[in-house]
Amino acid sequence: MALLSALRRTPSTLLRNPVLFVPLLVLLLLQTPQLLLRSSAPLLASLLSLAVSAVFLVAAPFVQAGFIGMADEALDGRTSLSTFVAAGKANFVQVFLVYLLLVGVNLAFGIVAFVAGVVGVVSLYPGGGTPSTPLLVAAGLVAAAIVVAYLLLVFVVQFYAQAIVVDGYDALGSVKHSYAVVRRNLASVLGYTLLVGVLGGGFGLVVGLSSVLAAPRRRRRTRSPSASRRSARSPCRRSWPSSGRCSAGSSGCSPCRTTGR
């Protein structure tokens, strides 16, 4: 299978070119501050996340094209960061056009899903007090159709960037070529997609758990057992009435015996 052949070449390629990990490590370092601040300073983490997302929106096509250029060169020998920069510059515009198209499609799917969710909530609380089952079923079917359509779209266009960087297609041609590749190699592409999904989910889980464990926690101040016992034996708590004497008497507690009250 093509998938098994590609997997056999991957370890040797990575060992021969450890520089392939540099762009990924840079991206990880850029996201580390917001992950660490998520528990200790949520507002600052949200602002930082917005700033990083805005930068990533523009930089993602460059990084994607550069990394694919490095990977393609690494399969035949050695690669370098200069290839990353050159491939990013040469293919940025075409990759960015398809990237913007996919962002617009995702936004459209999100709007339709939001409307379907609102309709579903309204069907649960109608004016008459009885849930509207047909309306709720219709909203559920629409939501399910949106999810399936989105996953199918991502599945068939996932190789558009490779088509641009490796094969030299333009934006529109890359989408058509990606669809053709998926159609001709359906089983291999499905296995590849599942493998990437599992690895990506596992990596995201590790990063999320690391951010939670690395976040600082507030320690609760606890009283020592000896202080608690002394407080329990002392009835006056150093609080004397207007007479100037302890209400427990001069033998009631150690402060009274010390001061003679």
Higher pLDDT, 37 or 2: 37
Report how far residue 77's alpha carbon sits from residue 72's, in angstroms, rounded to the nearest whole number: 9
Nearest to 18 by CA among 79, 72, 60: 79
Reported as a pLDDT band with limits 50, 70 and 90, residue 155 is: very high
Given a cut of 90, whether residue 253 has pLDDT beyond it is no
**Residue 37: both structure tokens together:** 């601040």
Of 32-41, 159-168, 234-243, least confident by mean pLDDT is 234-243
Q: Which amino acid is at 62?
A: F
Among 42-51, 110-119, 248-257, top mean pLDDT goes to 110-119
Of 37-41, 63-67, 169-173, 251-255, least confident by mean pLDDT is 251-255
| Percentage of the residues of the chain whose pLDDT score is greater than 90 | 24
Q: What is the pLDDT of residue 202?
A: 78
Over range 71-80, report the average pLDDT: 88
Average pLDDT, the chain: 77
Q: What is the pLDDT of residue 250?
A: 46
The model's pLDDT over 172-214, given as tens digits with 9 standing for 90+, comes to 999 999 999 999 988 888 888 888 888 877 766 776 666 566 5
Q: Is the dihedral of CA 201, 117, 101, 60 positive or negative?
A: negative
**pTM confidence score:** 0.69
Residues 115-142 as b/e (b if ≥16 CB within 10 A, e otherwise) read ebeebbeebeeeeeeeebeeebeebeeb
Reported as a pLDDT band with limits 50, 70 and 90, residue 220 is: low
